[in-house]
Amino acid sequence: MEEQKLSPGKFAINYGIILGVIMILISVVMYVTGMTLEGKQWPIYLFYLIFPITVIYAISQFKKRNANLLTLGESIKLGVIVGVISALLFCAYYLIFMYVIDPGFNAQVLDVTRDKLMENSSVTEEMLEQQMKMVEMFSSPFIFTAFWTAMSAFFGLLYGLIGGLVMKKENTHA
């Protein structure tokens, strides 16, 4: 009897959901504790550590459940899908947050950012306006969503490639 081959796409969805939920939890903790408005970044650094660990772990588990076989393509596909699913889940939360939970939060963040930039005495009014235009552009929920999804896909591809290069083992008898 022939074993049914695992699909990297279906396998990666669960890990993408887990990663997306982790990012949502980090975001909620930062919001509730006021860290976002204070400009605290360390919780986000946790996510940057958890992201590659989750992708590499998903690849290792896929290989383990796939008769210890893994192609580079499967590994890359796993990484990209984990990244994109996590980004889409987080972005759905982000849009709900921005439009339903706290519609005025973005304006608060912009005010705090402007105040912090103005504290720097070397920043001219022109520079301040330029920087605020960039901040406003990237704080637009739809631009943020597109950017976050693209970056998650890119880093999923990168970590999938690294994981695949390290763990690949193809079936030489097929």
pLDDT 10s digits, 99-125 = 999 999 888 888 888 887 777 767 778
Mean pLDDT, range 142-168, rounded to an integer = 95
pLDDT 10s digits, 16-46: 999 999 999 999 999 999 998 887 889 889 9
Task: Tell me the whole-structure pTM to 2 decimals.
Answer: 0.86
pLDDT digits (tens, 9 = 90+) for 40-65: 889 889 999 999 999 999 999 999 99
pLDDT at 1: 42
| Number of CB atoms found within 10 A of residue 113's CB | 17
Q: In whole angstroms, what is the distance from residue 26 CA to residue 15 CA?
A: 17
CB-based contacts of 84, cutoff 8 Å, min separation 6: 16, 149, 152, 153, 156
Distance, C-alpha 38 to centroid of its chain: 22
User: Which SS3 state, helix, strand or coil, does residue 101 take?
Assistant: helix
Confidence category of residue 137, pLDDT binned at 50, 70, 90: confident
- Model confidence at 172, pLDDT cuts 50, 70, 90, reads low
Chain mean position to CA 132: 24
